[in-house]
Amino acid sequence: MSDDFDLNDPNNVEGMKHVRGLLDYIGEDVNREGLQETPARVLAAMHEHFSGYKEDPRDHLEKTFEEVEGYDEVVLVSDIDVHSHCEHHMVPFVGKAHVAYIPRGRVVGLSKLARVVDGYAKRLQVQEKLTMQIANAIEEVLDPKGVAVIIQCQHFCMCHRGIHKPNSWTTTSKLTGAFMNNPSSRLELFQLIGMNKTTG
């Protein structure tokens, strides 16, 4: 159990009651030994999974660096692990995000792009909205010459329940500025990502 989880906090007391209700709902004996700490563990896990509500991910992009000798080519951070939860079923969707931008005079710390992804992913989401929120944040704060966000995920609600298609992947993308308007920038992006995609 994480040290900062307070069993006596009224919010947590109430939350644990709800988890016990769900355990009862699925037919469990809520009093058996193995489940004694489960309600608290579930809440602590939810704090982690949904920590994004406590932040404005755009804040991560405020600090920038200008001493980059005028670098104005593609900056791509690829294969950023995504772990989010769909808002329809509250089950995970997991995969990768590729985030790129073309700077206009200043660059941002590379880790901050992954922090923006996490800040929005750690909420209840739909993949399309997650894609747009990341792209909009970079667009608004950095005002770059172009932004590209491509997300590829497996949705547990589609893979492990319902239609049961465990091999299905969902790809979403948002391209702006040069990535949208300039075919050679787009081609370069896809080559850098290794997707070899040549959408025209």
Ligand X SMILES: Nc1nc2c(ncn2[C@@H]2O[C@H](COP(=O)(O)OP(=O)(O)OP(=O)(O)O)[C@@H](O)[C@H]2O)c(=O)[nH]1
Q: Any contact of residue 155 with ligand X (CB under 6 A)? A: yes
Q: Any contact of residue 26 with ligand X (CB under 6 A)? A: no
In three-state secondary structure terms, 31 is coil
- Partner that binds at residue 128, options ligand X, Zn ion, none, CB closer than 5 to 8 Å by kind: ligand X
Closer of 112 and 155 to ligand X (Cβ): 155
CB 116 within 8 A of CB 100: no
What DSSP character marks residue 128?
A: H
CB 93 within 8 A of CB 155: yes
Question: Hey, which residues are catalytic here?
Answer: 86-89, 127, 155, 157
Tokens standing for residue 185: 């920038």
Which of 44, 126, 132, 192 forms a contact with ligand X (CB under 6 A)?
A: 126
What does the alpha-carbon distance between residue 108 and residue 85 come to, in Å, rounded to a whole number? 27
In three-state secondary structure terms, 76 is strand
Q: Any contact of residue 86 with Zn ion (CB under 5 A)? A: yes
Q: Is 153 annotated as a binding residue?
A: no
Interacting residues toward Zn ion by CB under 5 A: 86, 88-89, 157
Interacting residues toward ligand X by CB under 6 A: 86, 88, 126-128, 155, 157-158, 162-163
